[in-house]
């Protein structure tokens, strides 16, 4: 398999995720961007894990990354839910109480 092609795909995923995370106003969309960035890292880890003599360290680390991503998504969605209850919106520009 082409390693360079996989690495470039991971770069595209990471940059798209970064762009989504910093240009969208909706909190859920920012969360999608963060998931994309985590997945790009996973793809790199698994791609290099193939060249590991035992072919396992990268895969095990990817398992842990997936678990941390799940915990992060759960807590972030709980926060978004609570913010929506309080402010009636998840638009990140309108949640600016601390500015006033």
60 to 89, contacts with another protein by CB under 8 A? 60, 62-64, 66-75, 77-82, 84-88
Residues of this chain, 8-67, that bind another protein according to CB under 8 A: 8-9, 11-20, 22-29, 31-32, 35-36, 39, 42-43, 46-47, 49-51, 53-56, 59-60, 62-64, 66-67
- Measured from the CB atom, the residue of 47 and 98 that comes closer to another protein is 47
Q: Which of 29, 33, 38, 31 is nearest to 10 (CA)?
A: 38
Per the listing, tokens 């309108």 go with: 94
> Phi/psi at 91 (nearest 5 deg)?
-70, 115
Q: Do 13 and 36 contact (CB within 8 A), yes or no?
A: yes
Work out how close the CB of 18 gets to another protein at its nearest, in angstroms, rounded to a whole number: 5
């Amino acid at each position: 398999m082409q390693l360079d092609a996989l690495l470039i795909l991971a770069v595209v995923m990471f940059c798209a995720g970064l762009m989504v995370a910093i240009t969208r106003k909706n909190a859920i969309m920012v969360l999608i961007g963060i998931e994309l960035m985590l997945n790009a890292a996973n793809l790199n880890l698994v791609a290099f894990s193939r060249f590991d003599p035992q072919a396992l360290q990268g895969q095990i680390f990817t398992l842990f990354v997936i678990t941390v991503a799940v915990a992060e998504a759960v807590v972030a969605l709980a926060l978004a839910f609570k913010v929506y209850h309080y402010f009636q919106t998840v638009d990140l520009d309108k949640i600016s109480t601390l500015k006033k």
